């Protein structure tokens, strides 16, 4: 194995001569004490390989003897390193690979969050970044005890948090602060229930508090329904924290209009894209295939994380921004097409209007003129309008 490496390091070249010269060339090299290997003879061609300084000796002997030959490319360490030096991108890639390999055990590449219930993962990541911990942080520089203390001191919504690093992954475990009724009372926090919108009260499903309205009463948005101040028989009062639902009949209305002359987007098929790479928190703009000189265009932004072997998340994101050109064209539709569009829009808006409420009654009015179609939908729904408004007692 060592001899093979030594021969590769010194370099080699393969020679080809006519098979008629095989015996003569072999005897000649033996007489001149020129070592050669990888001897092969086939289809009228005799080939052999010389190494290191013997390559030039072979060439000289063959030329001096007038023996015609063909030589292959010079192979080995020298041409290999020449190849590498002429291509700086390979050297840069190797250096980058070594740097990343070194950093991989010293910086955070990925962060996972567990234990959050009401807080989103982005909320937790923002809290960590605020306290100096994020993607790309140098792990040996982090004082984790101090990090935990700062987070819990500055963010009362976090009852407990622990950040553990395994390799390049930071695993965040946390428990959110939960105030039960007793804790809220000790903190002096109580509440009222007010109307979130206009309506006629139907049913109360409320625990605690003092109702100041009754079923059948009509209330306006923001009006008090259940008070957190409960009067006592002796003329005094106590504080409460009511919770639950107050169902009310609510009238809601939506109007849509569809014009006969409609301005529509017609895409030209011309599209331009811009790319950038986000490495940790640094963004590098790569290239674009043109500027954004379109007078009218749709802009679509997307971000995709890079995974190693499709499973290991890297701290690298590819960001793409697409610009699709379109022209504005005025189109005249038939009465039927106009009505269909209006009905489609009305169904969508009505679904949003009703939401999770119980539909009691629905009425739709239609109005048509030379310019288009008007549709108005009025619904009567049964929905919860109780809105909790906290107050604090010192």
Can you identify the CATH homologous superfamily of domain 2-80? mj0159-like (3.30.70.1360)
pLDDT the model gives residue 82: 65
How far, in Å, are 91, 181, 204, 206, 319 from residue 393 at the CA level? 69, 14, 26, 22, 50
Domain boundaries along the sequence of the chain: 2-80, 110-176, 255-260+333-386, 263-331
How much is the pLDDT for 105?
Answer: 67
For the whole prediction, is pTM greater than 0.85? no
* Res 360: pLDDT: 94
**394 residues of the chain, pLDDT tens digit each:** 556 666 666 778 888 888 888 888 888 888 888 887 777 888 888 888 888 778 788 888 888 888 888 887 777 766 677 666 666 776 666 777 776 666 666 778 788 899 888 888 889 989 998 888 988 888 888 898 888 888 888 887 888 899 998 877 889 999 887 766 556 665 678 899 999 999 999 999 998 889 999 999 999 999 999 999 988 877 888 888 888 999 999 999 999 998 888 888 888 888 888 888 887 667 777 765 555 678 888 888 888 888 877 777 777 888 888 888 888 888 888 888 888 888 999 999 999 999 999 999 999 999 888 888 999 999 999 999 999 998 888 7
Give pLDDT, residue 350: 93
Topology at the third CATH level for domain 110-176 = Ubiquitin-like (UB roll) (3.10.20)
pLDDT at 35: 81
The whole-angstrom separation of Cα 374 and Cα 258 is: 7
Confidence at residue 202, expressed as pLDDT on a 0 to 100 scale: 95
């Amino acid at each position: 194995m060592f001899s093979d490496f030594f021969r590769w390091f010194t370099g080699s070249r393969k020679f080809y001569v006519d098979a008629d010269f095989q015996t003569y060339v072999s005897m000649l090299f033996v007489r001149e004490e020129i070592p050669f290997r990888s001897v092969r003879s086939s289809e009228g061609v005799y080939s052999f390989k010389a190494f290191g300084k013997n390559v030039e000796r072979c060439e000289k002997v063959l030329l001096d003897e007038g023996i015609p030959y063909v030589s292959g490319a010079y192979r080995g360490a020298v041409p290999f390193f020449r190849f590498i030096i002429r291509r700086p991108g390979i050297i840069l890639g190797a250096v980058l690979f070594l740097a990343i390999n070194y950093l991989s055990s010293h910086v955070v590449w990925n962060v996972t969050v567990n234990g959050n219930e009401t807080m989103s993962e982005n909320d937790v990541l923002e809290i960590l970044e605020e306290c100096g911990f994020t993607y790309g942080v140098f792990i040996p520089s982090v004082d984790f005890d101090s990090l935990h203390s700062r987070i819990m001191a500055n963010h009362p919504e976090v009852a407990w948090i622990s950040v553990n690093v395994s390799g390049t992954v930071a695993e965040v475990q946390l428990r959110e602060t939960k105030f039960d009724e007793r804790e809220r009372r000790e903190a002096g926090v109580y509440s009222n229930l007010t109307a979130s919108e206009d309506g006629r009260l139907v049913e109360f499903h409320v625990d605690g508090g003092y109702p100041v309205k009754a079923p059948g009463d009509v209330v306006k948005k923001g009006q008090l329904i259940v008070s957190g101040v409960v009067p006592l028989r002796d003329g005094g009062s106590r504080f409460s924290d009511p919770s639950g639902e107050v169902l009310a009949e609510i009238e809601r209305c939506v109007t849509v209009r569809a014009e006969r002359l409609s301005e529509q987007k017609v895409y030209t098929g011309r599209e331009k894209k811009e790319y950038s790479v986000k490495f940790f928190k640094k963004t590098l703009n790569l290239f674009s295939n043109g500027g954004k000189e379109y007078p009218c265009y749709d802009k679509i932004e997307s971000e995709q994380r890079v995974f190693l072997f499709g499973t290991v998340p890297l701290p690298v994101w590819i960001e793409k921004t697409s610009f699709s050109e379109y022209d504005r064209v005025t189109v005249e539709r038939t009465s039927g097409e106009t009505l269909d569009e209006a009905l489609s829009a009305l169904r969508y808006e009505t679904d949003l209007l009703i939401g999770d409420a119980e539909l009691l009654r629905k009425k739709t009015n239609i109005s048509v003129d030379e310019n288009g179609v008007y549709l108005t939908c009025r619904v009567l729904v049964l929905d919860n309008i109780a809105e909790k408004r906290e107050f604090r007692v010192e």
